[in-house]
């Protein structure tokens, strides 16, 4: 659990159950920092850990646990490292589904094309997916941990919501069908049952110096409403508050499950070779310098370098790029990447806690912890507003009778009226009304925004950073051009498709799709064989065929000046080039590229019209990055690893608030590091969960639409705040002067709610997709 530090100070760590938001962490930090002997307090919401340096001669560790428990959180000593060793997986291999040629010859197709580092054909499996997310709350909130397999309604808070909701519904039915007196007591019961646990936490926070939390605000509001007979309003406000807490807890639990799923990209076991023998070990226990055997279809268990073998490596879990790379002895490989063809031996160069996937997890956690979330408006305002209102109500109730001989009943009545009109119930409803309308409008138009804080961040966006593959582009290469040299275009495609038949590789599928689109017959080549790292051969109608990268094809056929110029032109445009050789002569060239989405250029233009700068961040090579960025008219940075993207985001954030748009696991750290992260709906689960929002229809133009919607929502919110506070200001004065009583105060509060709700509903008609 602990590791020794200097002298008498020891570093201790606990798992904290229920810490689901940044303000939960702030409350715990504020409580434990006040204890003597406590220093260097660090909290991680994503991993639910509290770490601190403690001098136990001044404060015992049990005192820390009691202090945290008094706030409503559960603590257990943490014995596991930050990224726990994954549990054994059911199978570390894959079932292969080879094409006819593979089965006949016992190998997989492999091509190595210039321009992308090569491409290899696999005939086996798809890619694994994972998930990530983030939670948020307000000071004073306490969220219960939801154990695996336990639904929200099985938790204590879930049961409380169901009970108070049932009582509230029953009270309304009673009011309609029976007696208002009976209904009144049902409303009181619903309010009391719901507010008791809230009040308990409010007073616990007050005991450690945090008096005006949102719990205290709700407690005072509900109690005041009960005192003056507004039990219905009190019960409704408490119920909605409890529902919000449950939803935040559910979101936080999903976040943690998603982060854990990231770790599943790394295999749970590895095959270590020692003294000529192979044995299976826990991948988390691999030591630097060990040699591991990676079979075809296996995921690579550690970051390292290849010592023996050559194979196609699918690095999409790390770089997000759709085209695998051919790698051989001395090349670096990353944990979580998939070995597509031949067996490899890899020397481990990084321990499990430092491998690529572990770093991605750590980057996501740290980015979410470092980003200062916008606090709820009502909580910020309550720090000044609530103490002022409560203090003013006390003065109104006491000063006139004591100092001027006023009648106690009159001034207490006026104080209660002031407390009611000062109650932030209308304000609490007004801001979420705009948020709810904006979220509903966005959902109907395929724009997912995860809450009000995200809307506020989106409205302030000054720079949009895009990932390339799967975001600005479709994520699937297609044939863009055929250069006929020794044969006509149809024959070139027919020959290439013959040796690609049966492959599931993206480039092979693109060539076959081109053949089918032009009604070119696709027949499997005879004697198909892969040449590791170079290309593939076969025979069709007595014609010997070779398809591979131009640099390897030059060993089999003569390239004249026209052919060399064509290769240079295509590769400069960022395209992958496959040379087709027929009977020892160059038949032609096939150019493939992951092309920009149809609406990408229009999207960049719309963002520019909104005064927003666009930048492309990609892990692809510089030439391809420049070609795509140039065609779309935006800046770019290429050959970036996940941590490089985070660095780039931080640099851009110094200039203006940054929105990051991505779709892959490798984008998760950058999505978390940006002021707002947005995932493409066609992206991986981890990108969708880690992001603050998503464009569900995967249209790039929807990014501009999302920003327009967010700006409209913030304008609506500002108007609502003016309406709510303006009415309160007027009636606060009239209540103190005695011109308005309780019923007018209630009417004013309800009227303000109706007005701001009506204003918020205007957002339901907002067309985010309409520019200008």
How far apart CA 103 and CA 82 sit, in angstroms, is 44
CB atoms under 10 Å from CB of 95, counted, come to 8
Strands 463-467 and 613-617: parallel
How far apart CA 220 and CA 209 sit, in angstroms, is 17
Strands 635-637 and 613-617: parallel
Region class of 386: left (phi > 0), else alpha (psi between -120 and 50), else beta: alpha
CB atoms under 10 Å from CB of 147, counted, come to 10
User: Per residue, what are the HEC states of 750-761?
Assistant: HHHHHHHHHHHH
How far apart CA 218 and CA 131 sit, in angstroms, is 34
Asked if residue 549 lies in contact with residue 112, where contact means CB atoms within 8 angstroms, the answer is yes
CB atoms under 10 Å from CB of 34, counted, come to 11
Strand partners, 658: 463
Q: What is the dihedral of CA 128, 509, 616, 324, to 10 degrees?
A: 60
Residue in 370, 578, 365, 565 with CA at minimum distance from that of residue 478: 578
Asked if residue 676 lies in contact with residue 660, where contact means CB atoms within 8 angstroms, the answer is yes
At 310 the three-state DSSP class reads coil
User: Per residue, what are the HEC states of 202-242?
Assistant: HHHHHHCCCCCCHHHHHHHHHHHHHHCCCHHHHHHHHHHHH
Collect all residues with Cβ–Cβ distance below 8 Å to 588 and sequence separation of at least 6. 482, 483, 484, 485, 486, 487, 489, 492, 580
How far apart CA 224 and CA 437 sit, in angstroms, is 30
What is the maximum alpha-carbon separation in the chain?
A: 115
Task: For residue 556, report the phi and psi dihedrals to the nearest 5 degrees.
Answer: -115, -15
DSSP 8-state code for residue 153:
G
CA distances to 92, 285, 428 from 264, in Å = 11, 15, 41
CA distances to 22, 151, 609 from 652, in Å = 24, 41, 20
- By CB atoms closer than 10 A (0-12, 13-18, 19+), residue 560 is exposed
Strands 338-339 and 344-348: unpaired
**Catalytic member of 467, 594, 667, 692:** 467
Residue in 103, 496, 535, 526 with CA at minimum distance from that of residue 312: 535
At 73 the three-state DSSP class reads coil
Strands (E), 653-769: 658-662, 676-680, 693-695
Asked if residue 668 lies in contact with residue 262, where contact means CB atoms within 8 angstroms, the answer is yes
Through-space distance between the first and last CA atoms of the chain, rounded to whole angstroms: 58
Helix (H) / strand (E) containing 683: none
Q: What is the DSSP string of 323-343?
A: S-EEE-TT-EE-TT-EE-SS-
Strand order in the sheet with 526-531: 478-484, 585-593, 576-582, 543-548, 535-540, 526-531
Helix (H) / strand (E) containing 584: none
Strand order in the sheet with 344-348: 277-282, 269-274, 291-294, 344-348, 304-308, 332-333
Is 467 known to be catalytic?
yes
Q: Report angle CA 729, 732, 736 to the nearest 5 degrees.
A: 150
Q: Which residues are catalytic, by number?
A: 467
């Amino acid at each position: 659990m602990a590791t020794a530090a200097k002298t008498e100070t020891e570093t201790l760590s606990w798992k904290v159950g229920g810490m689901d938001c940044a303000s939960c962490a702030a409350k715990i930090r504020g409580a434990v920092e006040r204890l003597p002997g406590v220093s260097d307090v660090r909290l991680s919401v994503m991993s639910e850990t509290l770490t601190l340096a403690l001098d136990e001669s001044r404060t015992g560790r049990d005192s820390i646990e009691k202090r945290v428990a008094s706030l409503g959180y559960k603590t257990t000593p943490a014995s596991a490292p930050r990224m726990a060793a994954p549990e054994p997986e059911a199978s570390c291999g894959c079932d292969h589904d080879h094409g006819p040629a593979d089965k006949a010859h016992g190998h997989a197709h492999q091509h190595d094309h210039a321009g992308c580092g090569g491409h290899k054909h696999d005939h086996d499996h798809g890619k694994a997916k994972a998930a990530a997310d983030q939670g948020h709350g307000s000071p004073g909130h306490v969220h219960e941990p939801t154990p695996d397999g336990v639904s929200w309604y099985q938790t204590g808070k879930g049961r409380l919501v169901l009970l108070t909701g049932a009582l509230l519904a029953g009270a309304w039915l009673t009011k309609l069908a029976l007696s208002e007196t009976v209904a009144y007591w049902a409303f009181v019961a619903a309010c009391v049952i719901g507010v008791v646990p809230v009040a308990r936490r409010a007073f616990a926070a007050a005991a450690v110096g945090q008096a005006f939390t949102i719990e205290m605000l709700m407690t005072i509001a509900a109690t005041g409403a009960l005192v003056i007979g507004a039990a219905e309003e009190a019960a409704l406000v408490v119920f909605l508050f409890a529902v919000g807490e449950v939803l935040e807890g559910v979101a936080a639990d999903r976040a943690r499950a998603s982060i854990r799923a990231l770790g599943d990209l790394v295999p749970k076991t590895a095959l270590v070779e020692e003294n000529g023998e192979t044995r299976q070990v826990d991948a988390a226990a691999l030591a630097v310098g060990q040699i591991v055997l990676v079979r075809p279809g296996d995921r690579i268990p550690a970051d390292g370098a290849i010592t023996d073998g050559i194979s196609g490596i699918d690095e999409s879990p790390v770089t997000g790029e759709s085209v695998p790379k051919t790698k051989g002895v001395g090349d670096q490989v990353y944990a979580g990447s998939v070995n597509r063809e031949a067996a490899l031996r890899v020397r481990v160069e990084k321990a499990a806690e430092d491998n690529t996937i572990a770093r991605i997890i750590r980057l996501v956690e740290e980015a979410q912890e470092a980003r200062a979330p916008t606090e709820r408006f009502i909580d910020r305002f309550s720090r000044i507003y609530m103490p002022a209102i409560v203090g003013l109500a006390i003065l109104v109730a006491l000063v006139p009778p004591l100092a001027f001989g006023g009648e106690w009943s009159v001034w207490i009545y006026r104080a209660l009226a002031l407390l009611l009109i000062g109650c932030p119930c209308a304000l609490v409803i007004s801001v979420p009304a705009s948020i709810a309308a904006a979220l509903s409008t966005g959902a109907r138009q395929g724009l997912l925004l995860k809450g009000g804080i995200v809307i506020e961040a989106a409205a302030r966006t000054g720079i949009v950073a895009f990932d390339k593959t799967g975001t600005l582009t479709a994520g699937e290469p297609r044939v863009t051009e055929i250069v006929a040299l020794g044969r006509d275009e149809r024959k070139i495609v027919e020959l290439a498709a013959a040796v690609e038949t049966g492959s599931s590789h993206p480039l092979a599928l693109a060539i076959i799709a081109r053949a089918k689109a032009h009604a070119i017959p696709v027949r499997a080549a005879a004697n198909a064989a892969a040449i590791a790292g170079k290309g593939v051969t076969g025979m069709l109608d007595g014609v010997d065929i070779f398809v591979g990268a131009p640099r390897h094809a030059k060993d089999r056929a003569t390239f004249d000046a026209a052919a060399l110029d064509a290769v240079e032109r295509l590769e400069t445009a960022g395209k992958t080039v496959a040379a087709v050789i027929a009977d020892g002569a160059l038949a032609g060239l096939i150019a493939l590229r992951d092309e920009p989405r149809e609406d990408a250029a229009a999207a960049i233009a719309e963002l520019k019209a909104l005064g927003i700068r666009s930048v492309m961040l990609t892990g692809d090579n510089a030439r391809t990055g420049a070609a795509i960025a140039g065609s779309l008219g935006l800046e770019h940075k290429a050959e970036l690893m996940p941590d490089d993207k985070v660095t780039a985001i931080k640099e851009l954030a110094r200039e203006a608030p940054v929105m990051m748009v991505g779709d892959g696991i490798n984008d998760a750290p950058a999505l978390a590091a940006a002021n707002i992260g947005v995932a493409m709906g066609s992206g991986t689960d981890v990108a969708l969960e880690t992001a603050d929002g998503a464009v569900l229809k995967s249209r790039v133009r929807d990014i501009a639409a999302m920003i327009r919607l967010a700006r409209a929502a913030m304008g609506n919110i500002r108007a609502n705040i003016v309406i709510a506070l303006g009415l309160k200001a007027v009636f606060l004065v009239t209540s103190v002067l005695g011109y308005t009583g309780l019923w007018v105060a209630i009417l004013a509060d309800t009227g303000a709610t109706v007005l701001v709700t009506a204003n918020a509903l205007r957002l339901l008609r907002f067309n985010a997709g309409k520019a200008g």
